[in-house]
A and B are shown apart, each in its own frame.
Chain A
Amino acid sequence: MKASTRSTLLAVAMAAAFAAGSAQAADPIRIGGIYLMSGSAASYGEFAKQGATLAIDEINAQGGVLGRQLSIQIEDSQGKAATAIQVARKMVYQDNVDLMMGLDSSGVAQGLVPVLPELGKPFMITHAATPDVTGKLCNKYTFRLSVNVNQNMMGAADIAAGTGAVKWTTIGPDYAFGHQSWEFFSKYLKEKKPDAVLMEDQLAFPRFGAEDFTPFINSVMESKPDGILISLWGGDLVNFVRQANDRGFFKQGFKVLMSVGAATEVLTALGDQMPADIWLGTRYWYGSWDNPINTKFVEAYKKAWNQPPSYNAEGAYMAVYSFKDAIEKAGAVEPDKIIAALAGLTVPAPTGDLTFRAGDHQALIGPTWGLTGAMNEADKIRSLTQLHNFEGASVTPPVDPECKL
């Protein structure tokens, strides 16, 4: 019995290996994606996978790129720089990927980006927001098509100044993202509203992944700010909002800005528990762009995955299309030619034309901010009203002099 089971298994394994082998015969252009696929924020990775898959299916259905099909393998960063580096090495040296994309966390990006020159393949960051990777850590292999902290906080400061609130504080995760968000927010807010008061000794930075936020909620409520910037994200933000609702946090009359609150991952989970009348920021909002590319993308995405695309889905979708355009412009799949083609390239995107600045490889792109309104019953999430699509060129500071490509 045992022997026969074993040989059946062997047969299946051989069949699988054979199938894989014959698929490779077509020699596709290989993309390696590194996302958060496990843990609390695994839904972000899942959306990215869906977005990338949709783009690849669309492109392959139309004959691929330079006559070759695209293929993607997505692996888990586990939210750790060490894991991401290991995965990236494996993808380049064992799986022979031609291009790479991904990264959800600033901490992971800060660790992986300095290793990229050694690996020698172009990498498109689609989510991680730390300014460093297109600033002092930049290198010629690293591109980013998504909104960074700098750009998002320029938009946030504009919204904050518009609310008229004077005394501002923050609640953010206790790592690069939370601290840098506040740093840039306060800098730009002071520029736009010189009489703004920053409550520097009352800031709250709970541990990333803290399950209970009540001590921080209470201390912020007691410090009575006029406005608060919240840069929690993912499961943390869901936990925070529910616990804050219980304590009447959103009924205190202060203005609330959530820097990445309009992630559909979070909005879907919270439903009508996400309060109305607070400002949510996002790298991309599916309902705020009225152009044929966005309409087509949102329709195709909903048809394929039965939900509206999150910003991470759009980022991954556009990464694939950016690579396609760059390869077609370069006429080759060699890394140096793709890099040369991507620098300064403008790609049509759901958010309008997307340009990769040649000086630091950061896309000129702005965040979208909106005020939460009534429930959108079709998508079962809060709708956003008073949408502000910030212009990429106007919220992107000049190239960091420390960045030498």
Chain B
Amino acid sequence: MAGLGLALLNSLDIGLLLFIIAVGLNIIFGVLNVINFAHGALYMLGAYMSFALMAGLGLPFWATLLMAPLVVAGVAILIDRSMLRFVYQREVADSLLLTFALLLILNESVRLIWGTGIHVIDPPVPLRGAIDLPGGLSYPRYSVFVLIVGLCTLLGLWLLFNRTRLGKIMRAAALDREMAQVLCINTRLVITGAFAFGAWLAALGGAVAAPMRAIDPGMGDKIIIESFIVVVIGGLGSFPGALLGAIVLGLIHGLGGRYLPDANLVLPYIGMALVLLFKPHGLMGARKSA
């Protein structure tokens, strides 16, 4: 029983980290109508930025947690203005090709700048070690921190989309870009902003993951597959869908890895196939006319 509790907590911290990343993917799709294949590379860039700021400039973890995602958001603005803006109006396949090229470019740039080696950074002192839970269990402090960041992001996004004018403008631009334009909304700004915000979320995921995962040139490729699974399960473009999909995938990893270890390779794909069979647009997805 104690083991189950621990597995559930695990699932939750795996899931919430995936949520932070995948919701960015969904926001970008919702507003730009672009499936961002380079999302994993932006996540990786976030982790490498943290590493560069911490190991290179000697900044404390908390400063890098704020700065690394901002730097990546800046890179995203450049990408949007120089490349992406030419494909918004075109078919999704075109943007897939472009963002796939971006992924290759970002991967190679990371390799050129930081080399092929595996890097690690340490969590700040208060987040090291584990806390004792009732029942003789222990749970890493850093995982608690991941849970808190995930929940704060969730709450922040909910407030943004439901309680602020900015959030409503983004939703309006996602629903009907032309109508939004007619209503004097500067859609160009909104679109660039949405891409930068999505990239910021990916990089936040990277900065949060950096102290507990190996920072290496392959980390982006791994996470993009996970993010796509989340999005397929939850529904492309859906905000609650990203949460649900991430929690489901977190549970698949957390419980599956523990109780069905032989099947852990195929479980995520079985989950995805089941969802596609019964709810082809994802658990929370709506039929969207692109």
Shortest Cβ gap from A78 to chain B (Å) = 10
| Chain A positions within 8 Å of B219 at CB level | 40, 211, 235
Are A174 and B264 within 8 A (Cβ)? yes
Within 8 A of A (CB), among B59-104: none
Bound complex: CA A266 to CA B117 (Å): 9
Chain B residues lying within 8 Å of A207, measured Cβ to Cβ, are 264-265
Q: From residue 200 to 237 of chain B, which have CB atoms closer than 8 A to chain A? A: 209, 212-214, 216-219, 221-223, 226
Interfacial chain A residues near B143, Cβ < 8 Å = 214, 246
Closest chain A CB from B71 CB (angstroms): 22
In this assembly, does B107 line the interface, its C-beta being within 8 Å of a C-beta of chain A?
A: yes
Is the Cβ of B212 less than 8 Å from the Cβ of A246?
yes
Q: Which residues of A contact B281 (CB under 8 A)?
A: none
Question: In chain A, residues 209-224, which have Cβ atoms closer than 8 Å to a Cβ of chain B?
Answer: 209-212, 214-216, 218-219, 222
Q: Are A40 and B218 in contact (CB under 8 A)?
A: yes
| CB–CB A235/B214 < 8 A | yes
A39 within 8 A of B: yes
State whether the Cβ of B120 lies closer than 8 Å to any Cβ in chain A. yes
How far, in whole Å, are A357 and B247 apart by their CA atoms in the complex? 54
Does A268 make an interface contact (CB < 8 A)? yes
- Chain A stretch 249-293: residues in CB contact (< 8 A) with chain B: 265-266, 268-271, 273
Within 8 A of A (CB), among B1-25: 3, 6-7, 10, 14
* Segment from B28-36, B171-179, B182-190, B252-260 that makes contact with A: B252-260
Contact (Cβ within 8 A) A218 B138? no
Q: Does B140 contact A (CB under 8 A)?
A: yes
A246 in complex: contacting residue of B3, B130, B265, CB < 8 Å = B130
- Asked if A246 contacts B120 (CB within 8 A), the reply is no
Q: Contact between B10 and A218 (Cβ–Cβ < 8 Å)?
A: yes
A239 contact set on B, CB distance < 8 A: 212-214
Segment with Cβ contacts to B, from A42-50, A323-331, A376-384: A42-50
A215 pairs with B10, CB closer than 8 A? yes
A212 CB to nearest B CB, Å: 5
Question: Using Cβ atoms and an 8 Å threshold, which residues of chain A touch B254?
Answer: 214-215
Question: Could you tell me if A46 and B116 are in contact, using CB atoms closer than 8 angstroms?
Answer: yes
Q: Which residue of A lies closest to B6 (CB)?
A: A218
B261 lies within 8 A of A42 (CB): no
Contact, CB under 8 Å: A268 / B218? no
Are A209 and B222 in touch, CB under 8 angstroms? yes
Contact B138 A247 (CB under 8 A): yes
Min Cβ gap A382→B in Å is: 14
Contact B214 A219 (CB under 8 A): no
Q: A203 and B118 in contact (CB under 8 A), knowing A38-B217, A219-B3, A246-B140?
A: no
Judged by a CB distance under 8 angstroms, whether B168 is at the interface is: no
**Distance between Cα atoms of A42 and B120 in the complex (Å):** 16
Are A243 and B258 touching (Cβ within 8 A)? Answer: no
Complex interface residues of chain B between 244 and 290 (CB less than 8 A to chain A): 253-258, 261-262, 264-265
In the assembled complex, the CB of A115 is this many whole angstroms from the nearest CB of chain B, namely 26
Is B129 engaged at the interface, CB distance under 8 Å to the other chain? yes
Is A41 engaged at the interface, CB distance under 8 Å to the other chain?
yes
Would B116 and A42 count as touching, CB distance under 8 A? yes
Q: In angstroms, how far is the closest chain A Cβ from the Cβ of B145?
A: 11
* CB proximity of A195 to chain B, nearest CB, Å: 26
Question: Cβ of A218: which chain B residues have Cβ within 8 Å of it?
Answer: 3, 6-7, 10, 258
Q: Which residue of B lies closest to A218 (CB)?
A: B6
Question: Complex Cα distance A174/B111, Å?
Answer: 27
B50 to chain A, nearest CB (A): 15
For A38, list chain B residues within 8 Å (CB): 107, 111, 217-218
Q: In the complex, what's the smallest C-beta–C-beta distance from B111 to chain A, in angstroms?
A: 7
Given A209-B222, A243-B212, answer yes or no on A238-B120 (Cβ-Cβ < 8 Å): yes
CB-defined contacts of A112 to chain B, threshold 8 Å: none
Are B261 and A265 within 8 A (Cβ)? no
A227 at interface by CB-CB < 8 Å = no
In the bound assembly, the distance between CA atoms of A388 and B56 in angstroms comes to: 38
When the two chains form their complex, are residues A39 and B218 in contact, meaning their CB atoms are under 8 A apart? yes
Residues of B within 8 A of A242 (CB): 120, 212-214
Highest count of chain A CB atoms <10 Å: which of B6, B14, B129: B6
- Determine the chain B residues whose CB is within 8 A of the CB of A235 once the complex forms: 118, 214, 216, 218-219
Indicate if the CB atoms of B258 and A248 lie closer than 8 Å. Answer: no
Per the 8 Å Cβ criterion, residues 141-184 of B in contact with A are 142-143
Write the nearest CB–CB distance from A49 to chain B, whole angstroms.
10
Kindly list chain A residues whose C-beta atoms are within 8 Å of the C-beta of B129.
246
User: Looking across the interface, which residue of chain B has its beta carbon closest to that of A239?
Assistant: B214
Q: Is B115 an interface residue (CB 8 A)?
A: yes
Closest Cβ–Cβ distance, residue A207 to chain B (whole Å): 5
Which of A206, A266, A268 is within 8 Å of B264, CB to CB? Answer: A206
Q: Does A390 contact B (CB under 8 A)?
A: no
How far does the alpha carbon of A174 sit from the alpha carbon of B216 in the complex, in Å? Answer: 20
B113 to chain A, nearest CB (A): 14
The smallest C-beta distance from A271 to any residue of chain B, in angstroms, reads 8
Contact B142 A246 (CB under 8 A): yes
Residues on A lying within 8 angstroms of B by beta carbon are 37-43, 45-46, 174, 203-207, 209-212, 214-216, 218-219, 222, 234-236, 238-239, 242-243, 246-248, 265-266, 268-271, 273
* 15 sampled A-B residue pairs with Cβ under 8 A: A38-B107, A38-B111, A38-B217, A40-B217, A43-B115, A43-B118, A43-B216, A211-B223, A214-B14, A214-B143, A215-B256, A215-B258, A219-B3, A238-B120, A271-B120
Chain B residues near A (Cβ < 8 Å): 3, 6-7, 10, 14, 107, 111, 115-120, 128-130, 138, 140, 142-143, 209, 212-214, 216-219, 221-223, 226, 253-258, 261-262, 264-265
8 more contacts with CB within 8 A, not counting A38-B217, A215-B258, A222-B3, are A45-B116, A206-B257, A207-B265, A211-B209, A212-B10, A215-B253, A215-B254, A235-B118
